[in-house]
């Protein structure tokens, strides 16, 4: 059994605290290196002042599960010269200078290029609590879990909304730290309303696992955060924060996150 390091304990510590406070955690997503390396780091640090959990994205050319806002941000980061070493630098800054827990969101392709074991080691040493890989192939899961476990990283799985009960049960059983429940169908980006069946979906997940459940993919307003916080353990917002950063800079993004985060307290 691996020894749990302080960073890896961050998700369990976070949810223990929010349970005591009787509220959901609030999480914000931004890709590393957007809109530039310096501005992106400033934005992540500013956002972390108001979020319980910061999800740092690894930019890729083909972010097929993301909508146009995040896709464009990924392209701009890559055009600006993003390299994997920049991710680890960002993680170290966040974990050394903020109280927020940190989660990495990445597609599988950059992990395979870097090397799964090497990636897990670098992410853990940089202080992140875990990794979310939404498109990891089933035949790669066992090797990834071994690598993540070796370095005491949580592996967050996306719960399939279109799969059968067996697929959902398997995803829940493979997830540690947090189960990610999509709030809407399709790619990331805000929806006008929360799917009315989301509450039922989260309840179904809770029948399969005691792991905390986070809701994301389609949450963009304070009212939606407030609604989701009534039945989820965490509420995650991405596209709205990325969009605000692009239009108004780090201060504007931080102000939006402060507004959204306040909704989990009401």
State residue 8's pLDDT score. 45
Architecture of domain 10-265: Alpha-Beta Barrel (3.20)
Which residue, 59, 54, 64, 141, is CA-closest to 95?
Answer: 54
What is the distance, to the nearest Å, from the Cα of residue 39 to the centroid of all Cα atoms in its chain? 20
Q: Which active-site residues does the annotation give?
A: 55, 66
Q: What is the distance between the alpha carbons of residues 45 and 154, in angstroms, rounded to a whole number?
A: 22
State residue 45's pLDDT score. 98
Q: How would you write the pLDDT of the chain (266 residues) with one tens digit per residue?
A: 344 444 545 899 999 999 999 999 999 999 999 999 999 999 999 999 999 999 999 999 999 888 899 999 999 999 999 999 999 999 999 999 999 999 999 999 999 999 999 999 999 999 999 999 999 999 999 999 999 999 999 999 999 988 788 999 999 999 999 999 998 765 555 555 677 789 999 999 999 999 999 999 889 999 999 999 999 999 999 999 999 999 999 999 999 999 999 999 87
Q: Are 73 and 31 in contact (CB under 8 A)?
A: yes
Which residue, 89, 1, 11, is CA-closest to 53?
Answer: 11
Whole-structure pTM over 0.85, yes or no?
Answer: yes
């Amino acid at each position: 059994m691996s020894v749990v390091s302080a960073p890896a304990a961050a998700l369990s510590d976070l949810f223990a605290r929010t349970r005591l406070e009787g509220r959901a955690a609030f999480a914000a997503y931004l890709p590393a290196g957007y809109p530039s390396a310096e501005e992106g780091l400033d934005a992540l640090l500013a956002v972390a002042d108001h979020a319980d959990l910061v999800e740092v994205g690894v930019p890729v050319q083909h972010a097929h599960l993301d909508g146009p806002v995040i896709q464009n941000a990924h392209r701009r980061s890559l055009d600006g010269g993003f390299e994997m070493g920049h991710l680890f630098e960002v993680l170290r800054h966040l974990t050394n200078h903020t109280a927020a827990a940190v989660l990495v969101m990445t597609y599988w392709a950059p992990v395979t290029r870097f090397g799964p074991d090497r990636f897990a080691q670098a992410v853990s040493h940089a202080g992140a609590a875990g990794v979310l890989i939404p498109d990891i192939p089933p035949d790669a899961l066992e090797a990834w879990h071994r690598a993540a476990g070796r370095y005491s990283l949580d592996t967050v799985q996306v719960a399939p909304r279109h799969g059968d009960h067996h697929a959902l049960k398997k995803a829940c059983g493979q997830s540690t730290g947090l189960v990610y429940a999509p709030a809407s169908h399709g790619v990331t980006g805000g929806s006008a309303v929360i799917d009315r069946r989301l509450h039922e979906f989260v309840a179904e997940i809770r029948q399969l696992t005691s792991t905390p459940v986070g809701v994301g993919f389609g949450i963009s307003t304070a009212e939606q955060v407030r609604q989701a916080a009534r039945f989820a353990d965490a509420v995650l917002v991405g596209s709205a924060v990325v969009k605000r950063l692009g239009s108004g800079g780090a201060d504007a993004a931080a102000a939006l996150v402060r507004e959204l985060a306040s909704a989990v307290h009401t």
